[in-house]
């Protein structure tokens, strides 16, 4: 016992002990009150003391972990992107503390299974800036610019959280403008004549849906969740309609896994009341009389069964022939919302008013829904100087 005790050396922090093998063992009392051995022995006293100095520094900085916790932390660091991303999706919340919506979850998982698939099997620590650049270049080479932008944006958000969780030292997504890559294709709203052709051609029970998108600026999911009670019709003493207001406070989305999901709009700004211009009043009231149930909760645009939501895939069977008749095979339904934003701007509405009408949370988003038109002759005439 005496010989063994002579091998022990008390340090300022911890203890070193020379073993019969000649190796040096380092031990210390941890913040948990337990005595801990170094995970390995050392060949020199200097190495053992250096180890104890590092442990003492970790304790001082609050970064010390027990062997069990350190092993768990290492296991966390060895997670693959795919494993961590699934946890990230499950725990992610928006600025209001709400869980991700089913449609968003569906889109994120689609990106992980698609464009991000080459990276999902890699450990988080193995995804370097160079690896990200190589992956993104390969994706851009396929011509899928928008996909590349969305996938990079998701990867950037996930890796940023991983860095906050101290699973990686820094976010490897360092490409400037990596999230702003796009195809260059712009959404062009219909000209007045094109919109007229669409309204003349489309199946009559969907005319009001086109009108609400074009003149009210509603999104497809907002319009197809509207119910009779969401419309307020004001008449004068003679019984004539003087105002129709549409209350937008819900939207519907659809995913293969979750089916139809009803929820609030994309942001708080999306909850709004939209007044419709007088020239569409007759069409809207006619639609309520001919195609909408009599109950307050009756959907304005139900599916063929009269009660469930109208799938966009069903509507496109009517939309495609109508836009083709207008010579606009390139035009998505969303272009009608751009038409509405532009028409409202031409009335002299301020940017703030346009933003409120379209339900945008930023002025920049509202600006994207304003387009030039063929009014150049008319506007130029207004520039004439008075003499």
Same domain? 14 vs 88: no
The mean pLDDT of 258-275, rounded to a whole number, is 87
Same domain? 59 vs 88: no
CATH number at residue 107: 1.10.150
Q: Given strand 8-10, what is the order of strands in its sheet? A: 8-10, 15-18, 24-29, 35-37
Site of tokens 């970790």: 58
The residue among 64, 98, 116 that closes a domain is: 64
| Catalytic residue IDs | 219, 334, 337, 360, 369
Examine residue 101 and state whether it is found in any structural domain, yes or no: yes
Same domain? 296 vs 265: yes
Same domain? 58 vs 25: yes
pLDDT class for 367, splitting at 50, 70, 90?
A: low
Same domain? 94 vs 202: no
Same domain? 352 vs 227: yes
CATH number at residue 349: 1.10.443.10
Q: Is residue 235 helix, strand or coil?
A: strand
Examine residue 172 and state whether it is found in any structural domain, yes or no: no
Examine residue 171 and state whether it is found in any structural domain, yes or no: no
Q: Are 165 and 293 in contact (CB under 8 A)?
A: no
First and final C-alpha spacing in the chain = 116
Examine residue 176 and state whether it is found in any structural domain, yes or no: no
Same domain? 199 vs 266: yes
What CA–CA distance (Å, rounded) separates 206 from 213? 11
Same domain? 159 vs 291: no
Structure tokens at 273: 């009341």
pLDDT tens figures, 292-351: 999 999 999 999 998 999 999 999 999 999 999 999 999 999 999 999 988 888 888 888
Same domain? 49 vs 84: no
Examine residue 136 and state whether it is found in any structural domain, yes or no: yes
Q: How many domains does the chain have?
A: 3
The mean pLDDT of 26-52, rounded to a whole number, is 91
The range of the structural domain enclosing residue 200 comes to 192-371
Same domain? 124 vs 206: no
Same domain? 154 vs 286: no
CA 88 to chain centre: 13
Q: Quick one: pLDDT at residue 6?
A: 46
Q: What angle do CA 28, 34, 36 make, to 5 degrees?
A: 40
Same domain? 332 vs 225: yes
CA 117 to chain centre: 19
Whole-number percent of the chain with pLDDT over 90: 60
Strands 251-255 and 241-248, by their bridges, are unpaired
């Amino acid at each position: 016992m005496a010989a063994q005790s002579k091998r022990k050396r008390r340090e300022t922090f911890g203890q070193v002990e020379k073993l019969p093998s000649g190796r040096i063992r380092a031990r210390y009392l941890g913040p948990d009150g337990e005595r801990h051995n170094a995970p390995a022995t050392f060949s020199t006293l200097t190495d053992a003391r250096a180890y104890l100095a590092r442990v003492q520094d970790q304790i001082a900085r609050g970064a010390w972990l027990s062997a069990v916790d350190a092993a768990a932390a290492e296991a966390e660091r060895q997670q693959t992107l795919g494993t961590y991303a699934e946890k990230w999706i499950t725990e992610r919340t928006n600025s209001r503390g709400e869980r991700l919506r089913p449609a968003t979850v569906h889109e994120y998982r689609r990106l992980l299974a698609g464009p991000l698939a080459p990276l999902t099997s890699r450990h988080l620590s193995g995804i370097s800036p160079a690896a990200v650049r190589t992956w993104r270049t390969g994706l851009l080479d396929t011509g899928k610019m928008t996909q590349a932008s969305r996938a990079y944006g998701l990867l950037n958000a996930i890796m940023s959280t991983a860095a906050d969780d101290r699973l990686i030292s820094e976010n490897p997504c360092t490409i400037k403008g990596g999230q702003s890559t796009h195809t260059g294709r712009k959404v062009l709203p219909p000209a007045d004549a094109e919109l007229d052709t669409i309204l003349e051609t489309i199946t009559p029970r969907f005319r009001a849906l086109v009108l609400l998108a074009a003149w009210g600026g509603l999104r497809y999911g907002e319009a197809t969740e509207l119910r009779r009670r969401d419309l307020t019709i004001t008449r004068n003493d003679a019984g004539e309609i003087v105002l129709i207001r549409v209350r937008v406070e819900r939207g519907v989305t659809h995913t293969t896994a979750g089916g139809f999901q009803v929820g609030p709009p994309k942001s708080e700004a999306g909850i709004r009341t939209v007044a419709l211009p007088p020239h569409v009043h007759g069409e809207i009231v006619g639609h309520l009389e001919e195609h909408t149930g009599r109950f307050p909760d009756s959907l304005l645009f139900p599916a063929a069964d009269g009660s469930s939501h109208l799938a966009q895939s069903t509507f496109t069977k009517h939309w495609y022939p109508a836009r083709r008749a207008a010579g606009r095979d390139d035009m998505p339904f969303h272009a009608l919302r751009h038409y509405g934003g532009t028409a409202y701007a031409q009335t002299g509405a301020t940017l703030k008013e346009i933003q409120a009408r379209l339900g945008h949370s930023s002025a920049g988003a509202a600006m994207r829904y304003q387009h030039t038109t063929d009014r150049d002759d008319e506007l130029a005439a207004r520039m004439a100087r008075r003499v």
